[in-house]
């Protein structure tokens, strides 16, 4: 069976699952949205607390992840409605569902373990594969296309803005000097050639992050969502967002604050919650996670 298939990728540990469940305070007949449902790690405790009149609407851009999720929850299909879409389309999705308000929304903006392990996606710098990085294989430019279609100056800006990388220009120039740039190993080699060995793994991570953000328009989608989600929360409805880097967290923080200032939201986490040391030990990818929660007034 090829790398990245459903059977290979069913093991995913949700981040700060207990904290999210505590803040959601699930109502048995409530309607909830998991905007980044993936294989369904966060969905499991939500569905387990729903009664027969409750509902979870799951959204994901990754069709492979939705196949896993559908299989995982085959016995709970009456409580779960899945959509191959982006979470910023919640207005269109709720219209299709005939729902005007929901009791809670969660987003986990990180990559799943499943996605990182799938070599054909190219998300991880740790193993070779196609330089793709799309969440949705059916649309958009690959990371290799972004590199091909942008000059050194534009790539430098991408690495500076989305990766906050100090060697951005040097790396962009090295990338454009490479004869081929279609695989993870090609990109790794371009970075290796022009950067000091100390902390090079962090440099790899920042460049891969920057390309992934641009490929998937992650910040634009988050910004669009943040402008509209409050309109679809019921009074006392909860919004919980887990972010993994400062650009995302800053957007969430500022919009929560704006909505709090106009008496639309009550912020429940004055400072973002971080995973416990025990969770970080058992799930290393949770280390950079920040959870911000607010409630509709």
Domain extents for the chain?
7-114+219-296, 137-215
Q: Judge contact between 50 and 27, C-beta under 8 A.
A: no
Q: Look at residue 8 in the predicted model and tell me its pLDDT.
A: 35
Residues 194-230 as b/e (b if ≥16 CB within 10 A, e otherwise) read: bbeeeeeeebbbbbbbbbbbbbbebbebbebbbeebb
For the chain, where are the E strands, in sequence order? 31-34, 55-60, 80-84, 102-108, 233-243, 265-267, 290-296
Residue 111 is classified by DSSP as P
Residue with tokens 């939705």: 66
Confidence of residue 73 (pLDDT cuts 50, 70, 90): very high
> Is residue 261 pLDDT above 60, yes or no?
yes
Long-range contacts of 267-276 (CB under 8 A, 24+ apart): 267/292, 267/293, 267/294, 268/23, 268/238, 268/293, 268/294, 268/295, 269/293, 269/294, 273/16, 273/19, 275/15, 275/16
Residue 140 structure tokens: 């958009």
Cα 52–chain centre separation: 29
Please state, rounded to an integer, the average pLDDT across all residues of the chain: 92
Q: What is the pTM of this model?
A: 0.91
Number of neighbouring beta carbons within 10 Å of residue 144: 21
Say how many residues make up the chain: 297
CATH for the 7-114+219-296 domain, from 1.10.10.10, 3.40.50.150, 3.30.70.100, 3.40.190.290: 3.40.50.150
Q: Look at residue 113 in the predicted model and tell me its pLDDT.
A: 62
- Mean pLDDT across the stretch 209-218? 96
* Residue 273, CA distances (Å) to 37, 87, 265 in order: 20, 22, 18
Architecture of domain 137-215: Orthogonal Bundle (1.10)
Residue with tokens 């308000």: 101
Residue 240 structure tokens: 């919980």
Q: What is the dihedral of CA 3, 106, 40, 69, to 10 degrees?
A: -80
Cα angle vertex 54, ends 49, 55, to 5°?
A: 100
Model confidence pLDDT, tens digit, residues 5-56: 333 334 568 999 999 999 999 999 999 999 999 999 999 999 999 999 999 9
> Is residue 208 pLDDT above 50, yes or no?
yes
More confident residue, 208 or 139: 208
Residue 246 structure tokens: 């400062």
In whole angstroms, give the CA distance from residue 180 to residue 246: 32
């Amino acid at each position: 069976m090829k790398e990245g298939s459903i059977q290979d990728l069913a093991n995913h540990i949700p981040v700060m699952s207990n904290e999210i469940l505590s803040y959601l305070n699930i109502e048995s007949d409530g309607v909830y949205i998991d905007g980044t449902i993936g294989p369904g790690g966060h969905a499991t405790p939500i569905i387990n607390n729903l009664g027969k009149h409750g509902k979870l609407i799951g959204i994901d851009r990754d069709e492979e992840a939705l196949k896993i999720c559908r299989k995982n929850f085959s016995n709970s299909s009456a409580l779960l409605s899945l959509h191959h879409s982006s979470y910023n389309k919640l207005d269109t999705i709720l219209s299709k569902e005939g729902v005007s308000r929901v009791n809670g929304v969660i987003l986990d903006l990180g990559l799943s373990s499943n996605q990182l392990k799938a070599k054909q996606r190219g998300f991880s710098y740790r193993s070779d594969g196609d330089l793709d990085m799309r969440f949705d294989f059916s649309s958009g430019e690959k990371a290799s296309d972004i590199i091909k279609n942008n000059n050194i100056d534009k790539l430098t800006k991408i690495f500076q803005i989305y990766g906050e990388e100090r060697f951005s220009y040097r790396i962009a120039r090295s990338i454009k000097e490479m004869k081929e740039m279609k695989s993870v190993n090609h990109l790794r080699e371009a970075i290796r050639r022009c950067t000091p060995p100390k902390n090079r793994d962090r440099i790899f991570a920042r460049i891969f992050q920057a390309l992934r953000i641009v490929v998937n328009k992650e910040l634009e989608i988050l910004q669009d969502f943040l402008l509209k989600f409050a309109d679809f929360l019921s009074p006392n409805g909860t919004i919980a967002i887990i972010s993994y880097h400062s650009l995302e967290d800053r957007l969430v923080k500022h919009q929560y604050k704006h909505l709090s200032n106009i008496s639309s939201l009550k912020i429940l986490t004055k400072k973002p919650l971080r995973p416990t040391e025990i969770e970080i030990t058992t799930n290393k990818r949770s280390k950079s996670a920040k959870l911000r929660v607010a409630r509709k007034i």
